[in-house]
Structure 1
Amino acid sequence: TLTYRELDDRAEQVARRLRSLGAGPEGVVGIALPRTADLVAAVLGVLKSGAAYLPLDPAYPPDRLAYLVDDARPVAVLATAGTGALLPEGTVIVGPEVTQHQEPLLAPALSPDNIACVTYTSGSTGRPKGVSETHRGIVEFVEWTHAALGPERLARVLFSTSLNFDVSVFEIFSPLLCGGRIEIVDSLLALTTEGSRGASLISGVPSVMSSVVADHAEVSPRVVALGGEPVPEQLLADLEAAFPEARIINFYGPTEATIYATAWQSDLDPYSKDGPPPLGRPLARNRLYLLDQALHPVPEGVTGEVYLAGGGPARGYLGRSGLTAGRFVADPFGGPGERMYRTGDLAVRGSDGGLRFLGRADHQVKVRGFRVELGEIEAVLAAHPDVAQAAAAVREDGRGDQQLVAYAVTAAVTAVTAAEPALLRAHLARALPAHMVPSAIVVLDRLPLTVSGKLDRTALPAPDAPAPAHSSPRTEQESALRAIVADVLGLEPFRVGVHDSFFDLGGHSLLVPRLTTRIRNELGGDLPVRAVFATPTVAGLARRLSGAGTPGTAALDVLLPLRTRGEREPLFCLPPASGLAWGFAGLARHLDVDRPLYGLQSRGLVPGERVAMSLAEAVAEHTARIREVQPQGLYHLLGYSMGGLVAHGVATALQAAGERVALLAMLDSFPGAWTSQGPRPGDRPAVLRGLLTILGRSAPPDDDDLTDARFAELVRSVADLPGSLDDAELAALVEVTANNRRLLEEFAPAPYHGDLLFFSAAQDPDAHPDRYAAWQPYVDGRVDHHDIPCAHGEMTRPTALDRIGPVLDRRLRTT
């Protein structure tokens, strides 16, 4: 243990010896010392001499140490007899021994822009490059930590990171410059054996921090700082459970940005938890740009490269002016002479303004002519609730063809089974284009890591066997249909089995008309749009084309099967006032492949059928249909708009019958005064306008005379499912919609015992932030609210379901 005075005295002794050897501003001094208090004194001593310190890890291979010494040309290296023997011949070695000198140490003539340390990072060519970080950049970062965290959170910091990584600057200087203390350990993993109950802040890469959490380390930090890798969503949940009082920080920033450039803080920057935490906000004087190849800002939802500007970027690469000029470029958005650093990192800005890390530009590969970002595959795989860590790589198969391979480390609580890779691949297929879905997934006990704790891609093993084959076509017609289905979905034909559902493979209601049009044009068969709902497989469609059946009214029946196979409890979906549940088909690609999916439609859509005479009758019929499919709970219900009210009624009816409802979820559905809004049931033109909006058509101005004929013309102007309805079916649809408007006003909810999962249409003109709270009097649990950036009528569009589906799937897996 050293006091501040003792540490300062040691540092001054080191500085005097180095000055005598010629150390000073813009000079470099190496440090090759074990992790003791002498290491910290050496760092401070080098800085007091005016020179910059160069970390030389004694654990590095001698060849690498020789390269660093030759490249940086230090005035001297602080080393012990043992570590000095690892250095190349001719290196000036200075021991850490302290000698007493009485003469005062004069401060060197330093400027804030002199270099303070040189940190070497790996280069794409295999030649490490030294990043020259300035006093100004480091001081600005440390001052930000003082303002953001305060002395209390920095009172006792674990110094666990190797001096070779600039995160050590954070762990040393942030506490020591505000009166805190540092505890030196060999690595963060020391917590799993030794513990450190007094540490107020621990810091490390996520892959190592996950081990700390898994081993239940005896530590109670106030801050858990993560950086260097994307943070898996599962790790974030584990940290919140293990350290519920701690602030979790997701730092982002390459070494060239001086330690870190942005920070997301769990207690200050809430997010929807629909993936890993975002990159956060720029810290200190940093600025972050997301730009395309022409250095133009990219719009929301478009991938761009991250550029960092302001106070953070380092001076450049030591002795590498050409490389510096290529990566530290003029800032077109800053003042004269200002530069920005091109990180090579890819990110996308969401509708909430948050940036999500996607991967590295230099991990971009080409597979079968497609450009593929491995980081994006890894991010999607890591978002699976059973995956703790993920990686991806490109390998050659036995024929010499390139194939994508993904690697997964499953969560500790998950049993690895032979079927798991198939489930994980289905998860990827739900979120990625077909050309980005790996051919094989390998489940590992752990990912291979480099000495710095980052992923070692070169050590990833080859897959043992190719991915399992799909059921193949048995006739020429099935083969032709498979090719069309694959092309519509953007898949390679071999990925489509003849018994695979169009919706499981990524199809949705907006793609169905495209599919039937292609079939009609290429195969000559007149296949109605609704036939795809009745038989959504290649084999089933082939039977339709062969005349082995007719589509009939299956797509308008009360029970609409969207996926019937699977061993888990089904999800039952109740539609808006139109009574049509077709839009829920797009959920299939987001849900567990083992979970059936059903829509419950309004009675009366089939011409000649009687509509429900009361809301209670509609609730009773839907409850009965659900229990025909699933006689006993657990039940899972999802309602959209009016369907939310019906779902609430079904849920309370099931509970009153002694059944268990595991999930009640709603899409932009509200009780109370909202039920009396909208067109009156007797105002037919207003009902027609409202229905056009529900169906995704533009309604004519209010002063235009909207007749039934004009309504039918507008509906059929789009070649989709509603556009395929005949006159009688359209008339029935209008009657059902008007009737449902009347039933809405009868809603008188009983208490629901449980939580409500709620999704709001945040961009709807009628939206306001707390509207979902109208449900709180009618549920005795909590209302878990999620904003979706869309209008009310767009909640089952693919872009909205891309956000709703993963949240819904995670909730279903935990109920």
Structure 2
Amino acid sequence: MTIRPVSAGIQHAGNLLETAARQAGEHGVRFLSADPAPGERGREQTYPELLGQALRLLGALREAGVVPGRAVALLLEDAEALLPALWACLLGGHPVCPLAAVTGDPERWAAQLTHVAGLLDGPLLITDERTRGTLPDVPGLAVTAIEDLGRVADPIDPAAVRPHPSTRADTALLMLTSGSTGASKAVELTHGNLLASLAAKAEARSLTAADTTLNWISYDHVGALLETHMLSVRAGARQLQVPPAALLTDPLRFLELIDAHRVTSTFAPNFLLGLINKALDQPDRARDLDLSCLRHIITGGEANPVATGVTFLDRLAPYGLRRDVLWPAFGMTETCAGSIYHREFPRADLGAEFAAVGRPVTGMEVRIAAGDGDAAAEPGALGEVQVRGPMVTRGYRNNPEATAAALTDDGWFRTGDLGRLDEGRLSLVGRSKDCVIVNGVNYFSHDLETVLDEVEGVARSFVAAFPTRPRGSDTEQLVVAFAPAPGTASDDNALYRTLVAVRNSVVLHWGFRPALLLPLPEEAFPKTSLGKIQRSLMRRRLEEGAYDDHRKSTEELITRQLGGHVAPEGPTERLLAELYAELFETDPESISATAGFFDLGGTSLDTLRLKNLVEQRLPGTELPLISLFTAPTVRDLAARIEGTRDAGQSGYDPVVPLQTSGTGTPLFCIHPGGGEVLVFVNLAKYFVHERPFYALRARGFDGTAEPFGSWEEMTRCYTEAIRRRQPHGPYAVAGYSFGAAAAFEVAKQLEAEGERVDFVGSFDLSPHIVGMDRFDHAETAANLAMFLGLISRQQLDGLPERLRPLPKEEQHALILDISDARRVTELDVDLEKLTSWMDLAHSLTELARVHRPSGRVGSVTVLYATPLHGSKDEWLHKHLRKWDDFTRGENTYAEVPGEHHTMLDPQHIGAFQAVLRAELNRALSEG
């Protein structure tokens, strides 16, 4: 089967899908799940089906009054929903802008959407019903759900919907550059840019309808849109689509999918090649693979170390992988992704540290600018890489200043990369712009520095984020240097808390941890006369060893704070230390058996990778993700795996030690209404070497014990468990929401036993657990889903009413269906686990329903946030201040940021812990 070449008569990108539907009707896109089983075939949508659905959606847009030329933003994580909407826009004359949600930070998300609304002149935002419920209200941004459009589109005859006659000069795509706080630019790519780029790519890669491609990149990335999906449509090739998590949690699945589906062409940044190389150390994992089908892997987005690529080719040669399969490449959003391919790897790069990126496709010109000017440099000279051609953007939407800065007077685009040309072959040697490339994605330094400048313990205007690349590393690594605020550097505990806060802020903002945190004195930050930190000079000094003493002292501080180094013992501990080291890219000998996974910098994605690694390396082991929270050290996790601390063998103990160092009075925090203690994990990190932090977890999670039958049974159990850990006072007890009422009862019991309780904390609960009369199973399930982050606050509204008519299991299935897929994966829940959790939460609700507070304690410290219902002032004066009726002394009421259900979330935890620690120190010193 062949598809005729795209002719000059084709005027817009939408014609490509029409051609594929007509000439390659049995081909299309196959969608796999995030955890595809061996042999899974997935769901297939042929090109005629995709075209029909796109035209119906276009008809629905027209019925809604969306006129050609109006931009449409697509916030659709599910590729099966996004692709028809994408083609509806391309066929309908709507410039289309794929978006990625900003998770975990509502304020930043609102700022991004506000920026997009202005940048795109009031676009229509298409999302799904679940996400629509989470969106902030942004002026100038109209929102519709893809499900609503689908209902309108269903009866529409696609044959009656005529595509808009867009021209090659019309804008087709608006792709946002990196920069998540309003600094992002919208790259304009016209229909002509796309057609020229796709034609050149297809020629360079000889892609035809006989090919099968694999994409695992999200569609807010230009590489996913053009390098795989649209290029495959142009060729009429079969496509395989799999979510990113499927490969990032199990890199060898990349090879297994290539074999199972006979993939001929795909994309893999160098960091994925490195992960695969490491994963291939597992015995027998690749023994049945046949990779002879693969013709090329495009690898770009970051520099490609020759050693990584050669190792990949060498390791997989026994499985039929061709020696010339890897094509290092160069491209940008502004050049319609890959536009320069290196088809001579590895033979042309032997002896070099990094591979060249090759020669431009037909129509693309490359030159090296001499010095700081725009004149062409001499052959072989080093300078800025500049490009031009029909696939290069004409500029940025509504940003003439950025457009003027990017284009030379004679029409060349300034890439910001430094390189040289050797006999027409381009090699990159650095960048002239301030950014970090990690795992193939560009991150701008100033974007992160603005956030870190506000972290407690950091001196203002003395933060620098810059890259480094240790020799042999598969990707660049992020370094964050900062000057500690006055008084912080001399206090080990304060400096460690600042290191934790900086690391947590980086993870929250960019989604990965820095490889190196470097506290430096202010004089170590070289600045220009205008006060700009010279990051490139700091990088050079770091790599020359100028900061080695500071680096060593920081490592020693962290080791001390984590309890010193304890060598792993036994095969399970040693294996886990190796896996921790693999995840954190460090020496296994540096991993202490007593250092916590999250104290070492583990993220939620790391937990999924660790779970997979453990289950692969220890066949027959099933590791619930909760184990990583409740047994985070190598020693504890090894014991959990070996069964020596299994709850079924040792009996139920509600106390979960989240942090055990420090000589201060231990803090015991009781779970909220869901019964789980995950919400306290990040909070506990701030008490290292200050005071132990214990959380109390409800009974009934492990399936070996029934939930508590009465309020008295629960609080008596908690009191006894606390006394086993700490036989005598003074005590500090607190609880979040539901847990605050339990903490009050525990404090009363301790006092009744003659013990001193110096701190009783209520995290946003009045003494009366208000509103319990309306909490039936549906209300409990819906609220628990919100507190777990499965659904948003907006989705909660009206959800109990939708649930009540359904049988219990169908209620839980509906909740799972509308839940955030990432959060479902993070919590490792399925319908059975969710049902068990909901049942436990409902049993706690039943206890709360009949609870009536009585008696008094010395005092209560109340930390309060914006309530779920009503105003903060009403919540404080009408409900929270009723604590005054249950204490002998004066209470403290301290406001913290966030809402009732988000006050302990990552974006607020820094402020929350500062208030809590201050109140604890005050109350306990008074005692």
TM-score (norm 1): 0.47
Larger Rg: 1
TM-score (norm 2): 0.42
> Which gives a bigger RCO, structure 1 or 2 (Cα 8 Å, sep 6+)?
2
